[in-house]
Amino acid sequence: MMKKIIAATLALTLSMSMGNFVYAAEDSSADIKATYQAGKENTDTVYSVDVKWGSLEYTYSSGVTKSWDPTTLKYKETSGTSSWTCQDGADQITITNNSNADITASLAYGKTDNNITGTFTNSKIGLKSAEGTNVGESPSETTTLSLKGALSDTTAEKKEIGNVTVTISDYVGTSSNYKWDGNGNISWGFLKTTLTDGVYTVEKECPGNNYLASIFYIYNKGNSQEKYVIKDGDIKAEGTYSLQKVTSGNGSYGVSLPSTMALNGKTIRLTVDLRDENNPTLTVKVI
């Protein structure tokens, strides 16, 4: 009888132990969630400027005409007006700005023949950024090269008489009749700007480590003086600073560059940008 009781107890224990491995599973699911993160926009400045050259091949005519004189049995020379001519478009240079920044293209004529000089219809071309334009519609401008002087080599055939250099730099605009001389007095053609873009630039070589100038006496087309001061703080280094327009008696006008910039013998470019009336700026750069 004792053996049966023990066996029954063991059987019960085994049955309970086996019951721990028996369970029921229900269907289950979980939502998958995602968050979109836009790719990083690279706003670095990328410069890309196309220069399209005309052939720059000219023909010089001395203006001298030789005619046969039957009386002297010799050719007689008659002086006329000398001239330079070329085929259509041969004297043109076109600058196109494909950059995401405003640029200036400065053109310079270099002499090879000291008797001949060259001038451009526009030697400093300011072009806005290509941002917001379509392919094939980037800002572009064409200038024309004219020659003066005499070609003394009577046997010349496509002889090199000079060269043209195009230099790309930050935007400084083009010459105009805005009036300013740095001290509040009227002077024509000093600022490099246009009448529409509101960008005023001056370049100065510094004779000392610091630099002082009242450059914000700006005259508009109505000869009305506009004055600006640094909005917050002082200029301490190269960079762009906010300006604010003031009336007479409000603060000191102009710019003061500290001696810590060590400017002696260097050239600085000061650019006042008034294109955004709500945020006029001054950019200081050592070039």
* C-alpha span between 9 and 218 (Å, rounded): 110
> CATH number for the domain including 89?
2.60.40
Shared domain check, 164 and 80: yes
CA distances from residue 255 to 5, 172, 237, 263 in whole angstroms, order as listed: 109, 18, 12, 14
- On whether residue 139 sits in a domain, the answer given is yes
- On whether residue 113 sits in a domain, the answer given is yes
- If you compute the radius of gyration of the chain from its CA atoms, what whole number of angstroms results? 38
pLDDT of res. 230: 80
* C-alpha span between 118 and 116 (Å, rounded): 7
pLDDT of res. 104: 85
* C-alpha span between 111 and 82 (Å, rounded): 20
Residue after which a domain boundary falls, among 132, 152, 170: 170
Type of residue found at 227: K
- On whether residue 222 sits in a domain, the answer given is yes
- N- to C-terminal Cα distance for the chain? 113
Cβ atoms of 209 and 144 within 8 Å: the answer is no
Shared domain check, 213 and 108: no
Shared domain check, 214 and 128: no
Type of residue found at 163: N
Residue owning tokens 């100038």: 213
Shared domain check, 242 and 138: no
Closest residue by Cα to residue 264 from 213, 210, 208, 204:
208
CA distances from residue 7 to 3, 14, 61 in whole angstroms, order as listed: 6, 10, 134
Residues paired with 5 in a beta bridge: none
Count of domains observed in the chain: 2
pLDDT of res. 225: 57
- On whether residue 16 sits in a domain, the answer given is no
* C-alpha span between 133 and 63 (Å, rounded): 48
Shared domain check, 159 and 58: yes
pLDDT of res. 130: 93
Shared domain check, 226 and 158: no
Shared domain check, 227 and 281: yes
Shared domain check, 75 and 142: yes
pLDDT of res. 24: 55
Shared domain check, 252 and 163: no
- On whether residue 190 sits in a domain, the answer given is no
> Residue 268 belongs to what domain range?
199-286
Shared domain check, 214 and 105: no
Cβ atoms of 124 and 174 within 8 Å: the answer is yes
The per-residue pLDDT string of the chain (287 residues; one tens digit each, 9 = 90 and over) reads 444 433 343 343 434 444 455 555 577 788 888 888 877 777 788 999 999 999 999 999 987 888 898 998 899 888 878 899 999 999 999 999 999 988 889 899 999 999 999 999 988 888 888 998 999 999 999 999 999 999 989 898 999 999 999 999 877 654 443 444 444 444 444 444 544 567 777 777 788 887 776 555 554 444 455 667 788 777 888 889 888 877 655 445 567 788 888 888 888 887 878 778 788 888 888 88
Residue 75, judged by CB atoms within 10 A of its CB (0-12, 13-18, 19+), counts as: exposed
Shared domain check, 166 and 106: yes
Shared domain check, 165 and 55: yes
- On whether residue 163 sits in a domain, the answer given is yes
Closest residue by Cα to residue 126 from 195, 79, 55, 228:
195
- On whether residue 6 sits in a domain, the answer given is no
Q: How many CB atoms lie within 10 A of CB 230?
A: 19
- On whether residue 61 sits in a domain, the answer given is yes
pLDDT of res. 44: 81
